[in-house]
């Protein structure tokens, strides 16, 4: 969790939305966050007990999180357990990767810790954990230009041990940067206090450490504020970034931002950090803001649908895969008997390939690069970015 803030910046000001436009698809997905899921996740997290780094309860929590991802449809190949040592004990970070369609080797990281001390830690940080899980569930099959890494760190309460290990052994190896990171978006202690008017969330901005990444952090933090206003009912204020899992990234020059509760709870690190003392509705609203912002940061598909009644357009569930593709592109329609056409164009709109009723398409003659795929069934049209990569 973050230590006590000595000052806060730009408290409750009018938000400028000029940098970003409202996107209905992003709002629709933000609204897929459910209060029932948030509440269940918070309760289940609390029931796992004190999840101190290196304990069996900590391992049980990691396995609970991993099984959530498997239930959402993420495969074992997308899930990595990254072990590290803490004194004589060991623990693990959990990293789940969702590959982007346009920039598969550039990553938006959304992260938060799951270890706790002296209590079940439902606020610190079952709240952030629950939101990250909801975001991963909702965005599982949503194409994003950038890859997303959903990371659950252990060892935060002992001094950012898990995130430091990840940065210094995975992101950087031998002092060489191995992972191209667009930004790091951290959620820590966003549970609020039950009974308070929890209508504002802090957006964390890098105002110290390396000065070279401060301006970029200020820019993405403003974008986070904009997304919060666009896709949730919450207001925002700016808080200086400090003492949580984005700091090891910041120290290497990466761009960071994050959420933190505005009315600070006194329960974290105590036996009273339980479900009874958090505000599940506040967590739910921050969840909506998170899903909206994560789509913006990773550039999620807006799923261009052109038909008479968009709400009845079944093409939204059509699959075009793999993406990126190598030699063969597959099409899976909601209704297998539908007649359809599929066309690939370059970015200038010139048609390069067009087929009818073919569910397996040879694209081996196309050069490596980005194309536009246009799928038509009757009066319905689905347009997607298609990356050919070899």
Mean pLDDT of the residues in the chain: 90
* pLDDT at 165 > cutoff 90: yes
- Distance, CA of 200 to CA of 282 (rounded, Å): 9
Do residue 215 and residue 174 come from a single domain? Answer: yes
* Close Cβ partners of 361 (under 8 Å, ≥ 6 residues apart): 328, 329, 330, 331, 342, 353, 355
Domain boundary among the residues 246, 267, 298 is at: 298
- Domain total of the chain: 2
Radius of gyration of the chain (CA): 22
Do residue 289 and residue 319 come from a single domain? Answer: no
Give residue-wise pLDDT tens across range 143-159: 999 999 999 999 999 99
- Asked, for residue 251, whether it belongs to a domain, the answer is yes
- Burial call 207-246: b when 16+ CB within 10 Å, e when fewer: bebeeebbebbbebbbbbbbbbbbbbebbbbbbbbbebbb
Name which residue leads in pLDDT, 19 or 75. Answer: 75
- Asked, for residue 3, whether it belongs to a domain, the answer is no
- Distance, CA of 144 to CA of 151 (rounded, Å): 17
Do residue 274 and residue 341 come from a single domain? Answer: no
Strands 319-321 and 304-305: what pairing?
unpaired
For residue 147, the cross-strand partners are: 107
- Asked, for residue 292, whether it belongs to a domain, the answer is yes
- Asked, for residue 325, whether it belongs to a domain, the answer is yes
Provide the CATH number for the domain around residue 91: 3.40.630.10
Tokens of 284: 């739910």
- Distance, CA of 211 to CA of 201 (rounded, Å): 25
Name which residue leads in pLDDT, 235 or 303. Answer: 235
- Distance, CA of 370 to CA of 384 (rounded, Å): 10
Provide the CATH number for the domain around residue 379: 2.60.40.3080
Domain boundary among the residues 279, 298, 317 is at: 298
How many CB atoms are located within 10 Å of the residue 97 CB?
Answer: 17
- Asked, for residue 150, whether it belongs to a domain, the answer is yes
**Predicted model pTM:** 0.77
* Close Cβ partners of 211 (under 8 Å, ≥ 6 residues apart): none
Name which residue leads in pLDDT, 303 or 91. Answer: 91
Supply the pLDDT for residue 390.
76
Do residue 133 and residue 219 come from a single domain? Answer: yes
- Asked, for residue 48, whether it belongs to a domain, the answer is yes
- Asked, for residue 16, whether it belongs to a domain, the answer is no
Residue 330: C-alpha distances to residues 104, 324, 351, 390 (Å)? 19, 11, 19, 16
* pLDDT at 307 > cutoff 60: no
Supply the pLDDT for residue 385.
79
- Residue with token string 């974290």: 268
- Distance, CA of 127 to CA of 131 (rounded, Å): 6
Do residue 147 and residue 204 come from a single domain? Answer: yes
Overall average pLDDT of the 74-92 stretch: 94
Domain boundary among the residues 298, 319, 342 is at: 298
Residue 78: C-alpha distances to residues 20, 62, 210 (Å)? 31, 15, 32
Supply the pLDDT for residue 374.
87
Do residue 64 and residue 89 come from a single domain? Answer: yes
CB half-sphere exposure, 352, CA atoms < 13 A: 19
* pLDDT at 312 > cutoff 50: no
Do residue 379 and residue 288 come from a single domain? Answer: no
pLDDT band with cut points at 50, 70 and 90 for residue 377: confident
pLDDT band with cut points at 50, 70 and 90 for residue 231: very high
Do residue 198 and residue 308 come from a single domain? Answer: no
Name which residue leads in pLDDT, 266 or 311. Answer: 266
Domain that includes residue 212, residue range: 24-298
Do residue 308 and residue 279 come from a single domain? Answer: no
Do residue 108 and residue 148 come from a single domain? Answer: yes
Supply the pLDDT for residue 89.
86
Residue pair 334/382 in contact by the 8 Å Cβ criterion? no
- H-helix segments, 175-323: 214-231, 247-250, 280-298
Give residue-wise pLDDT tens across range 255-279: 999 999 999 999 999 999 999 999 9
User: What DSSP state is assigned to residue 385?
Assistant: E
- Asked, for residue 18, whether it belongs to a domain, the answer is no
Do residue 86 and residue 225 come from a single domain? Answer: yes
Name which residue leads in pLDDT, 70 or 24. Answer: 70
- Distance, CA of 190 to CA of 286 (rounded, Å): 8
Do residue 264 and residue 347 come from a single domain? Answer: no
């Amino acid at each position: 969790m973050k230590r006590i803030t000595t000052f806060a910046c730009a408290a409750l000001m009018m938000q400028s939305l000029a940098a970003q436009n409202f996107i209905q698809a992003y709002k629709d997905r933000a609204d897929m966050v459910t209060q029932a899921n948030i509440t269940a996740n918070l309760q289940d997290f609390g029931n796992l007990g004190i999840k101190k780094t290196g304990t069996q309860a900590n391992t049980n929590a990691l396995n609970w999180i991993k099984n959530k991802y498997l239930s959402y449809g993420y495969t074992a190949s997308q899930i990595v357990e990254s072990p590290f040592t803490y004194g004589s004990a060991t623990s693990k970070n959990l990293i789940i990767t969702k590959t982007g369609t346009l920039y598969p080797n550039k990553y938006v990281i959304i992260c938060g810790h799951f270890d706790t001390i002296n209590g079940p830690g439902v606020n610190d940080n079952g709240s952030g954990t629950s939101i990250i899980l909801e975001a991963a569930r909702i965005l599982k099959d949503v194409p994003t230009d950038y890859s997303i890494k959903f990371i659950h760190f252990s060892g935060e309460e002992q001094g950012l041990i898990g995130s430091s290990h990840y940065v210094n052994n995975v992101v950087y190896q031998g002092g060489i940067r191995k992972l191209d990171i667009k930004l790091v978006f951290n959620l820590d202690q966003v549970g609020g206090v039950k009974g308070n008017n929890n209508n504002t969330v802090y957006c964390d901005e890098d105002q110290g450490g390396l000065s070279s990444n401060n301006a970029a952090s200020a820019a993405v933090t403003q974008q986070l504020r904009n997304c919060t206003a666009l896709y949730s009912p919450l207001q925002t204020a700016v808080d200086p970034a400090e003492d949580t899992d984005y700091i090891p990234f910041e120290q290497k020059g990466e761009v960071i931002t994050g959420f933190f509760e505005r009315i600070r709870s006194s329960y974290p690190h105590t036996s009273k950090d339980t479900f009874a003392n958090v505000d599940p509705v506040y967590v739910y609203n921050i969840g909506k803001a998170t899903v909206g912002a994560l789509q913006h940061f990773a550039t999620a598909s807006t799923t261009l649908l052109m038909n008479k009644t968009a709400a009845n357009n079944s093409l939204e569930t059509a699959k075009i895969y793999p993406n990126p593709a190598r030699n063969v592109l597959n099409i899976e329609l909601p209704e297998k008997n539908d007649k359809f056409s599929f066309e690939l164009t370059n970015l200038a709109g010139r048609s390069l390939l067009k087929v009818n009723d073919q569910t397996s398409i040879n694209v081996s003659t196309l050069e490596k690069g980005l194309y536009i795929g246009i799928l038509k069934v009757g009066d319905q049209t689905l347009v997607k970015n298609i990356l050919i990569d070899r």
